[in-house]
Amino acid sequence: MRQQLNFQWYLPANCWWLYFRCRSAFYGPASLLRYNTGGTYGRGNEWYCSGGTGCPNNLQISNNTVLNVPNGVIFGNGQIQGNLTIDAGSAMYMDYGSPGQNQVIEVYKDVILNGSLSLGDAIGGDLHVKGNWTKDAAATFNSNSRAVIFNGSTADQTITGATTFGYLILNKSTGNLLLTNNVSCNNGLTLTSGKIVLGANDLSLTALAPSSLSAGSSTSYVVTDGAGAFKRGVGTVFTGQDYHFPVGTLSAIQSATINFNTLATDNSLAARFITGPAGNAGLPFTEGSDNIVRVANNGYWEVNLASGTTNGYNERHTCCHNWFQCTGCFAAYRNERLLTVCRRWRKSYFFTG
């Protein structure tokens, strides 16, 4: 008869016999699998999920231990029913040796990173997180251009500690993803379901290709109610292509699109949608036969240069998108200058930065 392990199971030094004498354990809800060997330890049957066994509740790596996740073979997907904790001085490497890890690791609660963590070095070597992400300032995270997928289904999730992800994917059926520090994505951002709420923090997508963002719907976008902005890199080789900024409030998306006709250097833009009166700076404004003398008080877009030069290019800013039904006029500003006004129809205006 199988018995649940509901205590801390330490793997001390010289514990090779566990691999050969034990099959995967049947972990209970109060159990902790703790790697405490020091040096490098190769994952074995103690963490090999199969038939309801080998899936620890909480997993912790301590005492300057380096956990070799692949351990020379391709393990199946690894599951942790509770928290993953990596202590300072310790590490978990999904890319250790050859072959590397191309299987997902799923953490059903929190990731607490005080040491080092590397994701897999092959397609599929991603990390799924259903709880919160906490990274200490001294910790090291190597994405290996793999994805961290936030897919909790019961409540809000948070990212604490400045972190640079490779790919960040949000797919939450309930709740939002809240930032308490600045976050960057080097390779791509996918918003499938749920909102990223910035607060006073910035979300930066540094990849230059417009296709690096897969996002924008009435249920999944970036909330810019605070001082934080959604920043995107823009590249000279993508002149003439649309850069989408799916920003808005908690209650509604107010998406913007930037299309560069000419661009002298690679750059980045910081976008926010701000509720409240836009003010009358820059008015009256005449474009062709349109003479704009005032704007409504629903809110406005603020699009500023986040880096690079302040001139030498032209832009087209489209403030309406297919999923946004314009019911009034909204003003958009950059560097305190009026740029566009969203009418009841889709309209574009040109300006020189």
Q: Which two tokens stand for residue 79?
A: 């599951």
- Is the pLDDT reported for residue 19 higher than 50? no
pLDDT above 70 covers a percentage of the chain that reads 71
pLDDT per residue over 210-222, tens digit each?
A: 999 998 688 999 9
Least confident of 19-33, 260-274, 280-294, 295-309: 280-294
Q: Compute the half-sphere exposure of residue 148: CA atoms within 13 Å on the CB side of its CA.
A: 26
Give 57's pLDDT tier (boundaries 50, 70, 90).
very high
Burial annotation 144-155 (CB, 10 A radius, 16+ → b, else e): bbbbbbbbbeee
pLDDT confidence of 281, banded at 50, 70, 90?
A: low
Total-model pTM: 0.84
Confidence (pLDDT) at 291: 65
Tell me, what's the pLDDT at 2? 41
**Highest-confidence range of 145-159, 252-266, 320-334, by mean pLDDT?**
145-159
How many C-beta neighbours within 10 Å does residue 279 have?
14
Mean per-residue pLDDT, 225-234 = 94
**Rounded Cα gap, residues 108 and 227, in angstroms:** 31
Q: Assign 1 a pLDDT band (cuts: 50, 70, 90).
A: very low
Predicted pLDDT of residue 350:
30
Give the model confidence (pLDDT) of 122-162 as tens digits. 888 999 999 999 999 999 999 999 999 999 998 999 999 99
Task: Name which residue leads in pLDDT, 86 or 290.
Answer: 86
The predicted pLDDT at position 263 comes to 76
Rounded to an integer, the average pLDDT of 257-263 is 78
pLDDT of residue 242: 87
pLDDT band with cut points at 50, 70 and 90 for residue 296 = low
Least confident interval from 8-12, 31-35, 297-301: 8-12
Average pLDDT, the chain: 79
pLDDT-based confidence at residue 294 (cuts at 50, 70, 90): low
Task: Please state which of the ranges 72-76, 117-121, 230-234, 335-339 shows the lowest mean pLDDT.
Answer: 335-339
Per-residue confidence (pLDDT) for residue 144, from 0 to 100: 96
What value does the mean pLDDT take over residues 252-278?
82
Q: How many CA atoms, within 13 angstroms, populate the side-chain half-sphere of residue 167? A: 24
